[in-house]
Structure 1
Amino acid sequence: MSQVYDLASGLVRRIYEKRIDAPAILDTASEFPNATKFTAAWQAIRDEALAVGKAPRFHDIMPEQADISANDGRDWRMFVLKAYDVAVPQNLARMPVLDRLLAECPEVKSAAISFLAPGKHIPSHRGPFRGIMRFHLGLVIPRQADGRPATVMMINHQERRIADGECLLWDDTFPHEVTNNADKPRVALLLDIWRPRLPPDMEILSRLIVHGVQAGMRRRGVSFSA
């Protein structure tokens, strides 16, 4: 089954790469103007995230992610509020500030709080779907001895670091990996954003993919409850 998924993912990625010429790192101001709403509220979002408690491990929610979540015995926990437009009401209720912002921004298709354990390494991988963009907002980013953020993201073989309250918009169909080099957890808000100005055929394909993912989650009875 995983080989079929990998083949389908690779085919979708190649179709998008031929039709959408996009860099790995994207301009937040032009591609996701509503980012300012989230960055302005980052401290309130952080406080809500820290009150969540222990979230599920990513591979317990989605076993197909075990290769990158359960690879080294260190936790990658995800508190999912919305997944491909499927809301998780009980989780949204625990983060009212973020709930309000998500309601104001329909271009956000998925939203989760990511808790990365000390020393955790997420190995290199690629997303299959260029119809969305990935947005990271630092909530609790430990610093290393030289003062730089201790969490390193390698995106298309380029090092990127964000600090508390800083954000990054990027295309996760490029190879990427993450390492938390601190002795404390890293907490970040992860959003999937609908890519604007898609060619009409890619818009149709993108909506079909989203509907397919939604149907698959419902069929498998995926639960995102903490």
Structure 2
Amino acid sequence: MTHDPAAAARQEAPQQTFGTANIAPLERPSATTRFFMGIVAAAERLNLRCSKVGNPPVYDNATFPWAAEIEREWPLIRRELEQVLLRQSELPSFHDISTDVQTISKDSAWKTFFLAGYGLSSQENIRRCPETWRIVQKIPGLKTAMFSIFEPGKHLPPHRGPYNGVLRLHLGLIVPEQSDRLAIRVDKQVCHWHEGHALIFDDAYEHEAWNHTDKTRVVLFVDFVKPLRFPARLANWLLLNMAVFTPFIREGLDNHKAWEKKFYAEAEALRNRKD
């Protein structure tokens, strides 16, 4: 029997399922969007072959030396978060900003406080969290930064992220307990958040998350560019910079602007009444 190195390499290549069973994607009638998603699928296969950091579902934090710097400054982020949570009930549900999230979440128990994403940013929110914004600038290839707020009882069903050219960081900020009632599963690995500690994973693997406690869990939610070799690095750069022109991002920006206008107008009205 002859040994075929190419066949062996194919068998050992990392596998990611491009889609999630039982989760129907939102229909997008735009021909431009369908064309763009076809390019994304090809780029994902290239990214798997050209990763500089391998393709595990969950990473060892030592792979990214800057993660320790982020962890050291977590109390400053926590302090700004606490001010944000004074108006927790008024924060937007994730699906109200990103309508595509409706495939996995339609209730009000997953809230967000958005700082930046894919070249767009919320200057009002950044002004209220200057230390958080300064700290996340230490992350090479930063694409998205926000607070992700899981209220009691929230459970996100199994799903996968839209694109494997980025990796995700969760920095634990408020973690009410350490138990299987509060966890995230990435592929076959169940992980637990810890306050002040980073969890770095590839959200292109199927994952689900839950908070079955009676208290709120909050993490700093960051997406950053996956380190890749050429030519995947170039293709990834092009795709991530084109993303801002897609309906997925443009709709989210418009939705966030509408929420932001109302949120800060109400804050100003309250200040004026106090004066």
Whether the TM-score (by the shorter chain) exceeds 0.5 is yes
CA RMSD of aligned residues (A): 2.3
Unpaired segments ≥5 residues, structure 2: 1-24, 264-275
Instruction: Output the amino acid matched with 1:28.
Output: N
Aligned residues of 2:93 and 2:108 also touching (Cα < 8 A): no
Aligned residues of 2:26 and 2:103 also touching (Cα < 8 A): no
* Counterpart position of 1:24: 57
Give the deviation of 1:126 after TM superposition. Answer: 0.8
Give the one of 232, 244, 259 matched to 1:202: 232
* Counterpart position of 1:180: 211
Aligned residues of 2:171 and 2:196 also touching (Cα < 8 A): yes
User: Counterparts of 1:221 and 1:158 in 2: how far apart (Å)?
Assistant: 33
Instruction: Output the amino acid matched with 1:35.
Output: A
Structure 1 pair 15–46 and aligned structure 2 pair: CA distance change class (3 A): same
Give the deviation of 1:219 after TM superposition. Answer: 7.2
Q: TM-score, normalised by structure 1?
A: 0.86
Aligned residues of 1:81 and 1:91 also touching (Cα < 8 A): yes
Q: TM-score, normalised by structure 2?
A: 0.72
* Counterpart position of 1:222: 254
Unpaired segments ≥5 residues, structure 1: none
Give the one of 63, 80, 87 matched to 1:48: 80
Structure 2 SS opposite 1:200: coil
More helix by share: 2
How is 1:1-226 mapped onto 2 (pairs within 5 angstroms)?
2-3=26-27, 8=38, 10-20=41-51, 21-30=54-63, 32-52=64-84, 53-54=87-88, 55-70=91-106, 73-143=107-177, 147-148=178-179, 150-196=181-227, 198-216=228-246, 217-218=249-250, 221-224=253-256, 225=260
User: Counterparts of 1:75 and 1:45 in 2: how far apart (Å)?
Assistant: 22
Instruction: Output the amino acid matched with 1:60.
Output: D
User: Counterparts of 1:118 and 1:74 in 2: how far apart (Å)?
Assistant: 11
User: Counterparts of 1:19 and 1:104 in 2: how far apart (Å)?
Assistant: 24
Structure 1 pair 98–149 and aligned structure 2 pair: CA distance change class (3 A): farther
Structure 1 pair 223–3 and aligned structure 2 pair: CA distance change class (3 A): closer
**Which shows bigger deviation, 216-225 or 200-209?**
216-225
Give the deviation of 1:87 after TM superposition. Answer: 2.1
Give the deviation of 1:159 after TM superposition. Answer: 0.9
Give the deviation of 1:218 after TM superposition. Answer: 4.1
Aligned residues of 1:126 and 1:176 also touching (Cα < 8 A): yes
Give the deviation of 1:149 after TM superposition. Answer: 6.9
Instruction: Output the amino acid matched with 1:95.
Output: C
User: Counterparts of 2:147 and 2:105 in 1: how far apart (Å)?
Assistant: 15
- What percentage of aligned pairs have identical amino acids? 30
More strand by share: 1
Q: Report which of the two structures shows the higher radius of gyration computed on alpha carbons.
A: 2
Aligned residues of 1:16 and 1:129 also touching (Cα < 8 A): no
